[in-house]
Amino acid sequence: MKRLTANALSALTDAELMQRIGRGEHAAFDTLYNRYARRLGGFFLRMLAYDTAKAEDMVQELFVRVWTYRKEYRSDQPFASWLYAMAYNLCKNEYRHETIRQAYVEELLQREEATHEPTEAMERDEQRQRLRQAVQSLPTAQRDAFLLHYDEELTIPEVAHIVGCPEGTVKSRLYVALESVKRMMNEYK
Amino acid sequence: MNDNELKKMEQESAELLYLLREVRDEDNATITPRQCKPHVQKMRRTISPYWLVAASVLGFVLGMAMPRQSATPTDDSPYTLLADTSYTTGRSLAAGDVNFALLVVN
């Protein structure tokens, strides 16, 4: 297979890059990493209650796995779905996960008590913090489906495949989660 | 769960979902991707023991291939040299005597 320049590689689809990675092409791996690292970092950040260092470590861990299991990827399945399934499993393996989340929600509550007179910018920041808090305080199953579908923009069948439950269950979780977040945000107003 | 119910809820929450994506982009921007070179780590892990074995084999082969010194005295052996340099000791050595100083040098 002909070696391509970095620019040419960045024009390839994820599946095409994976095909090259499967043959051991390092430059294709770097391209894929640059494409997804920040996005996956953000996902880990939200899944692991905003522990930035942990999220960055998880990105490394995830891409080491992508390299290790590169030959197991089948080009007929969407790459994002395959990647997020691995990322989701990494989160599940993170034992401190729940404890961290609880600690973060408590920290947000304390921050809220210490709020001073609101300016417009502060109000906007506070609204965003409220939203983060609302999402973090959802039950784990609802929050996972919510983040995968609305933040990571995966389809409902993809989410169902990743979390291992029927599509109908994912839809119910999304509905309830959305309702809860909306209610929490309205209480704030 | 009916598809329409979820769609309706999403339409009603459009503003919230927009804010959610803004928050997502803000969060993602705080991430600084580090270099990730698992292929390099892999190379180090596999090549290192290989080189160790290869170096050992090469050392053994070269060791075996090197010519060994013959036990039999030849013209340029220390025994012959003794005849020319025996003046340093002030006496000639008898046949079969070995000058150990010269042996060390050679």
pLDDT at position B49 is 82
Among the ranges given (A67-71, A126-130, B27-31, B68-72), the one the predictor scored with the smallest mean pLDDT: B68-72
Same domain, B59 and B85: no
How does residue A92 score in pLDDT terms, banded at 50, 70 and 90? Answer: confident
Mean pLDDT of all residues in A23-39: 92
Whether residue B82 lies inside any domain: the answer is yes
Using a CB–CB cutoff of 8 Å, tell me whether A181 touches chain B.
Answer: yes
**Structural domains present in chain A:** 1-94 (1.10.1740.10), 98-189 (1.10.10.10)
How does residue B73 score in pLDDT terms, banded at 50, 70 and 90? Answer: low
Do residues A48 and A94 make contact, with C-beta atoms less than 8 angstroms apart?
A: yes
Tens-place pLDDT, residues B1-29 = 677 899 999 999 999 999 999 999 999 99
pLDDT at position A50 is 87
Query: Which of helix, strand or coil describes residue B91?
Result: coil
Q: Which residue of B16, B28, B42 is in closest CB contact with A42? A: B28
Mean pLDDT of all residues in B74-86: 53
Mean pLDDT of all residues in A33-51: 92
Q: Which residue of B3, B20, B31 is in closest CB contact with A151? A: B20
- pTM of the prediction? 0.70
Do residues B100 and B78 make contact, with C-beta atoms less than 8 angstroms apart?
A: no
Tens-place pLDDT, residues B35-47 = 877 776 555 556 6
Cβ of A171 and B9 within 8 Å? no
> Closest Cα of chain A to B62: distance in Å?
35
Whether residue B8 lies inside any domain: the answer is no
Identity of the residue numbered A71: K
Whether residue B77 lies inside any domain: the answer is yes
A51 contact residues in B (CB cutoff 8 A): none
Whether residue B10 lies inside any domain: the answer is no
Same domain, B77 and B52: no
pLDDT at position B17 is 94
How does residue A75 score in pLDDT terms, banded at 50, 70 and 90? Answer: confident
Whether residue B23 lies inside any domain: the answer is no
pLDDT at position A62 is 94
Same domain, B78 and B104: yes
Q: How far is the C-alpha of A63 from the C-alpha of B36, rounded, in Å?
A: 7
Q: Is the pLDDT of residue A27 over 70?
A: yes
How many domains, chain B?
2
Cβ of A151 and B38 within 8 Å? no
Chain B interface with A: residues with Cβ < 8 Å: 1, 3, 5-6, 9-10, 12-13, 16-17, 19-24, 26-34, 36-39, 41-42
Same domain, B77 and B106: yes
Cβ of B38 and A63 within 8 Å? yes
Q: The tokens 């970092």 sit on which residue?
A: A41
Whether residue B40 lies inside any domain: the answer is yes
pLDDT at position A88 is 94
Cβ of A42 and B27 within 8 Å? yes
b or e along B13-26 (b: 16 or more beta carbons within 10 Å of the residue's beta carbon)?
Answer: beebbebbeebbee
b or e along A79-104 (b: 16 or more beta carbons within 10 Å of the residue's beta carbon)?
Answer: bbbbbbbbbbebbeebeebeebbeeb
Residue B96: domain span? 73-106
Same domain, B57 and B84: no
pLDDT at position B65 is 86
Q: Is the pLDDT of residue B91 over 60?
A: no
Average pLDDT over chain B, rounded to whole?
74
Using a CB–CB cutoff of 8 Å, tell me whether A68 touches chain B.
Answer: yes
| CB-side neighbour CA atoms (13 Å) of A62 | 31
Whether residue B57 lies inside any domain: the answer is yes
Q: Is the pLDDT of residue B101 over 80?
A: no
Same domain, B61 and B80: no
Identity of the residue numbered A98: E
* Biggest CA-to-CA distance, chain B: 117
Q: In chain B, count H helices and then E strands.
A: 5, 0
The answer for residues whose C-beta is within 8 angstroms of residue B80's C-beta and 6 or more apart is B73, B74
Whether residue B81 lies inside any domain: the answer is yes
Cβ of A128 and B1 within 8 Å? no
Q: The tokens 């784990």 sit on which residue?
A: A140
Do residues A37 and B31 make contact, with C-beta atoms less than 8 angstroms apart?
A: yes
Cβ of B23 and A56 within 8 Å? no
pLDDT at position B34 is 83
Query: Which of helix, strand or coil describes residue A75?
Result: coil
How does residue A10 score in pLDDT terms, banded at 50, 70 and 90? Answer: confident
Cβ of A128 and B6 within 8 Å? no
How does residue A120 score in pLDDT terms, banded at 50, 70 and 90? Answer: confident
- Give B6 or B101, the one with higher predicted confidence: B6
Tens-place pLDDT, residues A146-166 = 999 999 999 999 999 999 999
Q: How far is the C-alpha of A175 from the C-alpha of A139, rounded, in Å?
A: 13
Q: Is the pLDDT of residue A97 over 70?
A: no
Q: Is the pLDDT of residue A21 over 70?
A: yes
